[in-house]
């Protein structure tokens, strides 16, 4: 026997309308808060640069740098004009590297007339600390630079050691400002 009871009773229709309307309102309300999305790709975004940040650097900031295009590696190296190495004189240069193929940017400590590992001593009014920096991949160089960043920002004195001889490094005010500008530009490229 067929039942004469309707499936969609007025009470059921009212419940469906309430839950349907509540679901739509919840989706709309939560859609305003999706500026940060979960990174489930497994990719490392430590060195990731955006197109807008790269273009900003290339159009406005790159004029302060000497550019070296490494087509074999698909990268462009930027050396700040205020950090100048002299012939046959030990020096450590901080290089900003753009890798447009992978949309990444790196910092690299380049020893000039020195061999790895590079020994750097940092002195300020209260602390004297030595760092032995090894060559390595992009993560190793980032770790080395992170050790030096607080001292660069505080205006500390830097020294390098070449065959046991202590040599001043980045001693001019213009060089210290150049280091700060490189770090500022790098963090701007990474938008961090």
pLDDT, tens digit, for every residue of 156-177?
Answer: 999 999 888 999 999 899 999 9
Band (111; pLDDT cuts 50, 70, 90): very high
* Residue 141 located in a structural domain: yes
Whether pLDDT at 184 is above 90: yes
Q: Determine the structural domain holding residue 166 and report its residue range.
A: 51-190
What CA–CA distance (Å, rounded) separates 129 from 166? 14
- Mean pLDDT, rounded, for 33-40: 64
* Residue 19 located in a structural domain: no
* Residue 40 located in a structural domain: no
What's residue 127's pLDDT?
80
Task: Report the number of distinct structural domains present in the chain.
Answer: 1
What's residue 50's pLDDT?
85
What CA–CA distance (Å, rounded) separates 65 from 53? 16
What CA–CA distance (Å, rounded) separates 74 from 98? 9
What CA–CA distance (Å, rounded) separates 115 from 149? 22
Band (39; pLDDT cuts 50, 70, 90): low
Least confident of 54-63, 84-93, 171-180: 84-93
Q: Which residues make Cβ contacts (< 8 Å) with residue 179, sequence separation at least 6?
A: 80, 83, 94, 152, 170
What's residue 48's pLDDT?
87
* Residue 15 located in a structural domain: no
* Residue 71 located in a structural domain: yes
What's residue 183's pLDDT?
93
Band (64; pLDDT cuts 50, 70, 90): very high
- Mean pLDDT, rounded, for 132-146: 90
* Residue 181 located in a structural domain: yes
* Residue 127 located in a structural domain: yes
What's residue 94's pLDDT?
92
Whether pLDDT at 74 is above 60: yes
Whether pLDDT at 105 is above 90: yes
What's residue 187's pLDDT?
92
Contact yes or no for 161/130 (Cβ under 8 A): no
């Amino acid at each position: 026997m067929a039942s004469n009871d309707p499936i969609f009773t007025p009470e059921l229709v009212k419940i469906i309308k309430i839950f349907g309307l509540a679901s739509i309102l919840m989706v709309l309300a939560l859609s305003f808060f999706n500026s940060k999305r979960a990174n489930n790709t497994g990719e490392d975004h430590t060195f990731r640069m955006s197109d807008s940040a790269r273009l900003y650097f290339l159009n406005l900031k790159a004029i302060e740098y000497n550019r070296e295009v490494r087509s074999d590696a698909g990268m462009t190296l930027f050396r700040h004009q205020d950090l100048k190495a002299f012939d046959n004189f030990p020096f450590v240069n901080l290089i900003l590297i753009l890798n447009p193929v992978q949309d990444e940017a790196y910092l690299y400590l380049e020893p000039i007339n020195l061999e790895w590992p590079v020994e750097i001593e940092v002195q300020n009014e209260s602390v004297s600390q030595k760092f032995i920096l090894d060559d390595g991949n992009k993560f190793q160089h980032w770790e080395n630079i992170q050790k030096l960043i607080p001292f660069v920002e505080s205006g500390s004195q830097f020294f390098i050691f070449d065959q046991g001889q202590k040599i001043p490094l980045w001693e001019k005010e213009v060089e210290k400002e150049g280091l700060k500008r490189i770090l500022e530009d790098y963090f701007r490229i990474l938008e961090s």
